Amino acid sequence: MNAQPVLAVEGLGKLFGGLVALDSVSFEVRAGEILGLIGPNGAGKSVLVNVVSGIYGSNSGTIRYRGRDVTHLPSHELGRLGIARSYQNIRLFRRMTVLENVLVANKRHLLRPFRSAWAGGRDRDIAKAMSLLERVQLAGKSDHLAGALSYGEARRLEIARALAGEPRLLFLDEPAAGMNERETAELSEVIRASRAAVDSMVVIEHDVEFMRDLSDRLLVMDSGRKIAEGSPAEVLADPRVIEAYLGSDDDER
């Protein structure tokens, strides 16, 4: 008997006026896995993540997290349940240090005034934040201003901030966008090291080689529909995927 999935999405639909952004999308995220979500520009990947994470409401379908129907819950309530995400655009406090950026991302601090964030349990919180910075290879820059980080470092800090809330399911939205080869390799190491901190991850990316090496399974979308799902080898050999995503040089950029 299969274990209950961490996330189960069934028949998810989303309309923007007369535009069908998601057309009856169904998939699941299994415990312990990294699920890769790929597809050409305009495929509906970001819309899917925004609906599942409570940023947008859905027009049809159901979303179940650990067996609980969370279809209509807003993002802040999903966050309390253990669902977190990063964004395509970097969102850091540039005038705070790297360590402070992680400390204020701790969801325990959201329930009390900002000034008290360093009150009770300060040493414990700092130790936890430093552990996260070690995981993303930034412990040596804990006292640097976030605004002084390189692009790749800032992306990795965002992952540490997302992990600071102790999520069980983490969505990473195009974490390798704009990175060079070295930065992408470092990011891959960070994501693999971070998977032990959560139950499951969903990574949305355009870099096919990056996703082939990183993902346990791939989910492929095109024009708001799911067109393939399975192991990276199976999916990337699928003629529908080759036509929709790999057949055009423009789609790979």
Sheet holding 19-29, edge to edge: 19-29, 7-16, 60-65, 68-69
CATH number at residue 30: 3.40.50.300
Q: What is the pLDDT of residue 122?
A: 79
Domain contains 40:
yes
Q: Which stretches of the chain score pLDDT less than 70?
A: 1-2, 107-121, 245-253
For the stretch 108-143, pLDDT in tens is 554 444 444 445 567 888 999 999 999 999 999 999
Other Cβ atoms less than 10 A from the Cβ of 86: the count is 21
List Cβ neighbours of 249 (8 Å cut-off, separation of 6 or more): none
Strand ranges (E), 53-184: 60-65, 68-69, 83-85, 169-173
Q: For residue 147, count CB atoms less than 10 angstroms from its CB and return exposed for 0-12, middle for 13-18, buried for 19 or more.
A: exposed
Its domain, for residue 182, covers 7-91+166-252
In this prediction the pTM is: 0.88
Are residues 135 and 194 in contact, defined by beta-carbon separation less than 8 angstroms?
A: yes
- Whether 226 maps to a domain, the answer reads yes
Instruction: Report the C-alpha dihedral over residues 111, 115, 118, 121, rounded to 10 degrees.
Output: -40
- What is the structure's pLDDT at 120? 53
Q: How many domains does the chain have?
A: 1
